[in-house]
Structure 1
């Protein structure tokens, strides 16, 4: 299915650094994820050309960029899982991917103003009531500026009559990457909602595309504390049936089933929700309402979380990453997370072979259309082309395949940990050659 009907998207084109690009993987989590988008196509192409085969103990097909792909990046080669995390091959059935779920999807934009100094704009995707005639609804438009938007092929704009189906539904909170947008991975958030989840995603004020475009933005140390607090505020609003701000979806959220997921700096945010975070400016305490976490290509440097801190993760976890990611490479980011989070159970490490950092955004959906739009400044086209190197180039896993694998594995994981369903491998079958699954 074609995921996008594009309208002019100048603002988005200027912001597609969403979630960072080619940062020092051993910086603080904030710095690693807020690296400016001045990665060149040459550097990323060289990184891809320089990949070396990972050790034989890895699952088949895993490769990773060489250490000279990006200066000062620590060992961006995929390392083998620890002996205690040996690959599991219990699944005997062929791989079974999922499609869009049984629900039509509504989406509404709300504003949380409980903290006047930091209002949050939040998109909420939810399963629509089955009695609603979708032919009478308008496709959702994700708007950056007046007249600058794109339409969703799956979600519909919420109206007073377009209300949520009766729940209760689990709540998933999505955290975008640095310089991103709340809907930068709407293909993912819409898919979850179509399978019976309420999904809420805030714009992290001070760390969005707006600040990237204008050259502003908060200090990384401030952002590192603000981000998990943003997610906490979203959970507060979405689990309060009396909060009319959150709309009909909040009344149908199950407050006992909460998952946090996020990409890059949003992956850092996801982990912080489970174990807390401390820097020189203050502390954020872990939120014990979180039942499971799904970090995507997370920024997990040695300066963000200590090994001891990562060892305290005790909720189920699925970490998903592309083997060719040079912004938050598997090693040290996922390697540190996986090797230390031994209390997490069940725990899954899913590696998409030839996936890259921007594979976990909607960026590739815009690439072919932006240059043909009228009156597009050359800098916009150049930015799109440069950023698209990390995920939208020849040889990269295709966007459709990324979506198919990501949705399949994440939904199976959520069903296992929230609904007591079969294990991920039992539900999905034998992993195909282009994905490596490690189970603990």
Structure 2
């Protein structure tokens, strides 16, 4: 682990897209993005605007890019596998900065679109108008049932050798999970039904009482069903208007050791995803205007918009990126690579480490 775990690692990063199908769920089919350490011959190509990967997340939305080379030849070796789950109405590449960061440090990383709960589905709803609100809530309930099974499907596919190029890269004995918001909840729920994960890193996970009725989600996860010690690091945002900080403190208190928690002060719900400032203001506008195609009398989106302060009043997006990259990498290094340096760093004074970088962090 480098002195600053938020610094990109030594390996160039490759990326490919797979499609996985679950016949047991009526042929449910998911696109899956896989990032991996690439051959040395690709050095610099993942950072060069002329050769890095570009993609469209939904029809009509602007082209985006990620620091990876599509179809790059894989590096030799066997690497831990990390499964990532995106948030509600998001997409599999929503945290590409974090996921390519992990790959550059020697991880294979996989993230699926949770079909029915992606930004493409949201765009479809917006084009259809508010009459789809009731259906969207139904699909959110369905997504809570599907998401953990989606994760199992991806792990089964990659660990079962279905992809001949990726299979030799994956160390099946070293598996971790992480996710953001609904995806953070997914990583917790997965641990109830799958014993393969050895480390968990939920980021602002949907949990406990809150404006979006997330207590219904936490009721679906019985932490005692994990049935094993599972090192878990909970990352929270102090001014999160969606997932309330007291709920995540309660989650942390209920977890069995080994566990840690960190709170980025003066940060909002989306501080840990790519394009945090843009995404934050898009959501505030949508909530305040009533454009969101969800009609539920128990959810006051205007109040959520008011509680979600303008991004200019919050900490810089770069602070969220530095924190999530450093802590997630160190957690995975400590528990999937048995790296004593990473373990010692995590056990130390994290608040002081980040204060030296001008970042205000509470560590528990």
Same fold by TM-score, threshold 0.5 exceeded?
A: yes
* 1:424–1:321 distance in 2 versus 1, CA, 3 Å: farther
Using the TM superposition, give the Cα deviation of residue 411 of structure 1 relative to its aligned residue in structure 2, in angstroms: 1.1
The answer to whether residue 238 in structure 2 is matched with residue 328 in structure 1 is no
1:268/1:298 contact within 8 Å kept: yes
Using the TM superposition, give the Cα deviation of residue 307 of structure 1 relative to its aligned residue in structure 2, in angstroms: 10
The answer to whether residue 210 in structure 2 is matched with residue 262 in structure 1 is no
Q: Matches of 1:348 and 1:422 in 2, distance apart? A: 16
> 1:127 is matched with which residue?
37
Using the TM superposition, give the Cα deviation of residue 311 of structure 1 relative to its aligned residue in structure 2, in angstroms: 4.3
* 1:147–1:220 distance in 2 versus 1, CA, 3 Å: closer
Q: Matches of 1:415 and 1:363 in 2, distance apart? A: 26
> 1:222 is matched with which residue?
142
Using the TM superposition, give the Cα deviation of residue 113 of structure 1 relative to its aligned residue in structure 2, in angstroms: 2.4
* 1:259–1:388 distance in 2 versus 1, CA, 3 Å: farther
Q: Matches of 2:342 and 2:322 in 1, distance apart? A: 15
* 1:184–1:399 distance in 2 versus 1, CA, 3 Å: same
The answer to whether residue 287 in structure 2 is matched with residue 287 in structure 1 is no
> 2:107 is matched with which residue?
197
* 1:111–1:149 distance in 2 versus 1, CA, 3 Å: farther
Using the TM superposition, give the Cα deviation of residue 327 of structure 1 relative to its aligned residue in structure 2, in angstroms: 0.3
Using the TM superposition, give the Cα deviation of residue 258 of structure 1 relative to its aligned residue in structure 2, in angstroms: 0.7
The answer to whether residue 232 in structure 2 is matched with residue 317 in structure 1 is yes
Q: Matches of 2:22 and 2:309 in 1, distance apart? A: 38
* 1:389–1:99 distance in 2 versus 1, CA, 3 Å: farther
1:323/1:351 contact within 8 Å kept: yes
Q: Matches of 1:202 and 1:252 in 2, distance apart? A: 19
Aligned residues between the structures: 317
> 1:3 is matched with which residue?
none
Using the TM superposition, give the Cα deviation of residue 237 of structure 1 relative to its aligned residue in structure 2, in angstroms: 0.9
> 1:5 is matched with which residue?
none
Matched ranges for 1:84-99 at <5 A: 96-99=4-7
The answer to whether residue 347 in structure 2 is matched with residue 436 in structure 1 is no
> 1:102 is matched with which residue?
10
1:367/1:388 contact within 8 Å kept: no
> 1:409 is matched with which residue?
327
Matched ranges for 1:69-218 at <5 A: 96-115=4-23, 117-132=27-42, 135=45, 138-145=51-58, 148-152=61-65, 154-158=67-71, 162-215=72-125, 217=136, 218=138
2:207/2:251 contact within 8 Å kept: yes
Q: Matches of 1:142 and 1:401 in 2, distance apart? A: 26
Q: Matches of 2:91 and 2:279 in 1, distance apart? A: 17
The answer to whether residue 315 in structure 2 is matched with residue 397 in structure 1 is yes
2:239/2:267 contact within 8 Å kept: yes
> 1:427 is matched with which residue?
345
> 1:305 is matched with which residue?
218
* 1:154–1:390 distance in 2 versus 1, CA, 3 Å: farther
* 1:152–1:273 distance in 2 versus 1, CA, 3 Å: same
Deviations 1:16-65 (A, max 9, x none): xxxxxxxxxxxxxxxxxxxxxxxxxxxxxxxxxxxxxxxxxxxxxxxxxx
SS at match of 2:6: coil
Using the TM superposition, give the Cα deviation of residue 360 of structure 1 relative to its aligned residue in structure 2, in angstroms: 1.9
Q: Gaps spanning 5+ residues in structure 2: where?
A: 126-134, 209-214, 292-303
Using the TM superposition, give the Cα deviation of residue 219 of structure 1 relative to its aligned residue in structure 2, in angstroms: 2.9
Using the TM superposition, give the Cα deviation of residue 402 of structure 1 relative to its aligned residue in structure 2, in angstroms: 1.3
Using the TM superposition, give the Cα deviation of residue 208 of structure 1 relative to its aligned residue in structure 2, in angstroms: 0.9
> 1:355 is matched with which residue?
267
* 1:408–1:327 distance in 2 versus 1, CA, 3 Å: same
SS at match of 1:357: coil
Q: State the structure with bigger RCO (CA 8 A, min sep 6), 1 or 2.
A: 1
Q: Gaps spanning 5+ residues in structure 1: where?
A: 1-94, 276-285, 371-377
Bigger helix share: 2
1:237/1:250 contact within 8 Å kept: no
> What TM-score comes out, normalization by structure 1 length?
0.65
SS at match of 1:355: coil
> 1:232 is matched with which residue?
152
